[in-house]
Amino acid sequence: MEKLKNLFKAKADQLGAEIKDILKEHGSKKIGEVQLAQAYQGMRGITGMVYETSLLDAQEGIRFRGYSIPELQEKLPKAPGGSEPLPEGIFYLMLTGELPTEADVKELSADWAKRSAMPAHVTRTIDALPVETHPMTQFVVGVMALQTDSLFAKKYAEGVNKKDYWSYAYEDSMNLIARLPAVAAHVYRRKYKGGQTIAPAAGLDWAGNFAHMLGFETDKFRELMRLYLTIHADHEGGNVSAHTTHLVGSALSDPYLAFAAGMNGLAGPLHGLANQEVIKWIFEMQKALGTEKPTSEQIAEYVKKTLAEGKVVPGYGHAVLRKTDPRFSAQMEFAKKHMADDALCNTVWNIFETVPPILQSLGKIKNPWPNVDAHSGALLVNAGMREYDYYTVLFGVSRALGVLAGLIWDRGLSFPIERPKSVTTANVKAWLKGEDSIWE
């Protein structure tokens, strides 16, 4: 798809020239102050990187190139007869800053389909793992096995001009995105369906084909995948999976290596793995209470028990957001449209009513509201996928769209290797006594 590649290059050249001018005139301006607590507490609120594809506002939620999720649901092209946005569209938007036409999205679907054939050793590598291995580990091993095809690594070894890095990062990223559904579907079919894999179908969009290879043929599941893979795609640059991909890529590790690193971060329970933790927690609550439909009072008691045991309530809280995640709201809307009477979805909504005041009453939690992971599992269970330890792989397939678009931009703008400064507590103590000026 040369048109998209050329469009990206034109945009990157233009922005690159603008950044050069900005830095020439304003490069020494301060954009914030770092407090001691921020250095110790996860660098929260420190503006320390540039990431073009999306921006998170604490009150409003995520915007992709300026568009909110409801706006994207309205403006991005849909599959014939469908009403959810196609993930191809959000990738196009994140990469170029322009809304795609129906034809642009169709062309991108066809391009990814053309690039989607996997080398045979990829599935053999996954199959060498014990079948009970966590799906995220199998997925990352599959991504690492795909790395043998990296054009970026090959060209770097041949000694290519650094002005051309972006082009190989683009090709690798496009190939990787094209092949991820087959890798992910292989993991699913291997782990839960006795290894009976399903070949891709011609003519389907990226998400529709993924649903097909997973083994789900209903319109509901396909539409769910389109929404799911769109809304999980990006959440600005500082979250663990995006930041890790960016950081590792800054060493000129190729897109396969950088994305695999990001996925290892997504596999943490405070980040992407929270989606499996939510549904596991609800199933355990239902079992402990002996009912599929716990009352608000029962939920409140169970939440208090969870907190008393020193655990987090999964799906609630956020490092940046300070209100209900619009990705939660989009999923709730989908559930109200397609599965309004579903017992599990109703329990999720009951939890939504019950949990925030309890978390708020603790006084220490900065955001008591649900995040994206609080709802996704209930939708998947209703649509037929109950194997919740697989859910983070779905998140990973989607997140590829954002972090790889981000990585293409990193190379397009020739960002350097990332290397923030760290200090020791001994430095800090000496600095507080006025004996060390390391921070000044």
Shortest distance, position 50 Cβ to ligand HAX, whole Å = 21
Shortest distance, position 370 Cβ to ligand HAX, whole Å = 8
Shortest distance, position 281 Cβ to ligand HAX, whole Å = 10
Residues numbered 207 to 246 that lie near ligand HAX (CB under 6 A) are: 239
Binds ligand HAX (CB under 6 A): choice among 366, 414, 429, 432: 366
Q: Give me the residue whose beta carbon is nearest to ligand HAX.
A: 317
Q: Both ends of the chain: CA-CA distance in Å? A: 50
Only one residue has tokens 């609120």, namely 45
Question: Is-contact 212 113, C-beta < 8 A?
Answer: no
Shortest distance, position 143 Cβ to ligand HAX, whole Å = 18
Give the distance from CA 191 to its chain's centroid. Answer: 23
Closer by beta carbon to ligand HAX, 156 or else 349: 349
Does the annotation mark 243 as catalytic?
Answer: no
- Residue 371 interacting with ligand HAX (CB under 6 A): yes
| Residue 272 host element (H or E) | none
Helix ranges (H only) for 309-342 are: 326-338
d(C-alpha 291, C-alpha 383), whole Å: 21
d(C-alpha 360, C-alpha 291), whole Å: 27
Q: Which residues of 270-294 are buried (b: 16+ CB within 10 A; e: fewer)?
A: ebbbbbbbbbebbbebbeeeeeeeb
Shortest distance, position 159 Cβ to ligand HAX, whole Å = 39
The region of 26-34, 116-124, 330-338, 364-372 touching ligand HAX under the rule CB under 6 A is: 364-372
Does the annotation mark 271 as catalytic?
Answer: yes
Q: Which two tokens stand for residue 208?
A: 């529709």
User: Of 145, 137, 152, whose CA–CA distance to 119 is shortest?
Assistant: 145
Q: Which residues of 36-63 are buried (b: 16+ CB within 10 A; e: fewer)?
A: eeebeeeeeebeebebbbbbbeeeebbb
Binds ligand HAX (CB under 6 A): choice among 72, 95, 274, 335: 274
Closer by beta carbon to ligand HAX, 38 or else 197: 38
Q: Which two tokens stand for residue 432?
A: 């507080």
Residues numbered 305 to 324 that lie near ligand HAX (CB under 6 A) are: 307, 312-319
Shortest distance, position 241 Cβ to ligand HAX, whole Å = 8
Shortest distance, position 326 Cβ to ligand HAX, whole Å = 13
Closer by beta carbon to ligand HAX, 89 or else 370: 370
Number of residues that bind ligand HAX (CB under 6 A): 21
Residues numbered 115 to 144 that lie near ligand HAX (CB under 6 A) are: none
Task: Return the bridge partners of 78, or none.
Answer: 85
Closer by beta carbon to ligand HAX, 212 or else 271: 271
The residue from 235, 318, 325, 342 that is catalytic is: 318
- Residue 272 interacting with ligand HAX (CB under 6 A): yes
Closer by beta carbon to ligand HAX, 248 or else 365: 365
128, 188, 279 from 173: Cα distances, Å? 26, 23, 31
Closer by beta carbon to ligand HAX, 153 or else 365: 365
Closer by beta carbon to ligand HAX, 82 or else 268: 268
The residue from 271, 342, 375, 410 that is catalytic is: 271
- Residue 375 interacting with ligand HAX (CB under 6 A): no
Q: Which residues of 341-373 are buried (b: 16+ CB within 10 A; e: fewer)?
A: ebebbbbbbbbbebbbebbeeeeebebbbbbbb
d(C-alpha 244, C-alpha 283), whole Å: 32
Cα Rg of the chain, angstroms: 22
The residue from 234, 373, 375, 410 that is catalytic is: 373
Does the annotation mark 254 as catalytic?
Answer: no
Q: Which residues are catalytic?
A: 271, 318, 373
- Interface residues with ligand HAX (CB under 6 A) are 239, 270-272, 274, 307, 312-319, 364-367, 371-373
